[in-house]
Amino acid sequence: MYALADCNNFFVSCERVFRPDLEGKPVVVLSGNDGCVIARSNEVKALGVKMGAPLFKIRDLVKQHNIVCFSSNFELYGDLSSRVMRILSHYSDRCEQYSIDEAFLYFDDNRSPANLQKLARQIVVEIRRGIGIPVSIGLAPTRTLAKVASKYAKKYAGYKGACLIDTEDKRIKALSQFEISDVWGIGRRYSTRLQRASIRTALDFANQSSEFARNLMHLPGLRTWQELNGFDAVKVDELARHLTITRSRTFARHVTDLPTLESYIADFCSSCARKLRQQKSVCAGMLVFALPSRFETILPSSGVLVDEQKATLTGGGGIFAEVRLPVPTDLTAELLEYALAALRARFVGGYPYKKAGVILQNILPANSQIERLFGERDRQKEQRLQKVVDSLNEKRGKNTVILASQVKTEQMKDKLQSRMLSPCYSTRWSDLITVKC
């Protein structure tokens, strides 16, 4: 049996740990520069606020319902996440962290499903009491079914935090009421295709033939179909390895000069490369982009405001460059070299860029890296240097050693609009709670 432990509205729950007065009140957490909603409490969801909604569009709603807003505090969220994961790891020898707020536990002993559900409820109580984070747990024979069960555990209080799918009748009932778009592994594009084929629920998909699933969604679709039918098909190494890695930011003010934009791209490349090395992967391609505002664009030649739809990515000054790497790599300096070359080739001076980012794709296991026979780079030397840099940053703190091109970004981080940032209660002595008697 698998157990999927999922923290409820995690970022919001982290803020409430040290602000119990916010229980039951509408709360949102905002993205960098306080731009968009990235986490919502149940009270905010009930008001119809969508994930990703720009703050300026919901300001009237915020005032009307006294919605409490927080700037994203990832230092706090990361620390509380690690505390949750430590507790989960005590209950299973195989604890696979899937994201900052989710982890799979594997139980291969002879405990009955009823006893496992009792254990899951015990875990929910321990995490809530010890850390203050509400957790929902789904139990099932496969990871995908466990994800389905966790959604029901989160939705219905009667499950007391833990939903169990252990029989065929429970599987059929659960899938018959589960929308196909909510199934783990089926994205927006495939859910649209499936709905066109009159497949509305997870059960509709599970009742199709394996050939239908493979033809429509290739191997990932087949594995999802197998998992929904109770066959364990997701491999552990694929679970841990992200298929793409993205780092991006919307700027508080328009960026018009190349050095500043290069500094941001360098910071994104460094973060992406660090994630690659952590999951023991390499990438063979990337996308580099810098775009105008989603809502308005100022053309550099005339200063006239126009709709974004009228400004093409190339002619209007936006950048969207696809890069194919000659050799898959996880080296920060190498990734940055290709990213900056693509950026400089397409940069338009004086154009008001509002958002930029890097997306790594074609991600492969690190042992699949192939050297060129007559390569010009001394990769062994670069890898040794990278290990030393990673070691220093791990011991002395993140970004202790950075690339020279990241310096400007580090200097500008203090200028980010995080006007509603909560203290780092659990990681900084200066932010410890003070109690006055």
Share of the chain above pLDDT 70, in %: 88
The structure's pTM equals: 0.78
Answer yes or no: is pLDDT of 49 > 50: yes
- What sign has the CA pseudo-torsion 302, 307, 308, 314? negative
Intrachain domains 1-164 and 167-240 with the same fold: no
CATH for the stretch 1-164? 3.30.70.270
- Predicted local confidence at residue 8, as pLDDT: 97
How far, in Å, CA of 75 to CA of 336, rounded?
Answer: 25
DSSP letter at 247 equals: E
Structure confidence by residue, pLDDT tens digits, 71-109? 999 999 999 999 999 999 999 989 988 889 999 999 987
230: left (phi over 0), alpha (psi -120 to 50) or beta: left
**Which residues, in sequence order, are bridge partners of residue 360?**
245, 286
Contacts of 33 (CB under 8 A, 6+ apart): 249, 250, 251, 252, 416, 417, 418
Strands 135-140 vs 2-7: parallel, antiparallel or unpaired: antiparallel
pLDDT of residue 406: 79
Fold annotation for 245-415: Dna Ligase; domain 1 (3.30.1490)
Q: Where are the domains of the chain?
A: 1-164, 167-240, 245-415
How many CA atoms does the CB half-sphere of 240 hold within 13 Å?
15
Both tokens assigned to 407: 């310096």
Per-residue pLDDT tens over the stretch 320-379: 899 999 889 999 999 999 999 999 999 988 788 988 999 998 888 887 666 655 556 788
Do residues 320 and 286 lie in contact, with contact meaning Cβ atoms separated by under 8 Å?
A: no
Q: Strand 94-99 and strand 27-30: pairing?
A: unpaired
Token output for 349? 């001076």
Mean pLDDT throughout 171-182? 96
Looking at the structure, give the CATH architecture of the domain made up of residues 167-240: Orthogonal Bundle (1.10)
Strands (E), 59-211: 68-71, 94-99, 102-106, 135-140, 162-164
Q: Provide CB contacts within 8 A for 347, sequence distance 6+.
A: 258, 261, 290, 319
In angstroms, how far is CA 109 from the centroid of its own chain? Answer: 32
Q: Rounded to an integer, what distance in angstroms lies between the CA atom of residue 255 and that of residue 278? A: 31
Structural element, H or E, at residue 202: helix 202-206
pLDDT tops 90 at residue 220: no
Read off the tokens for 82.
């690690």
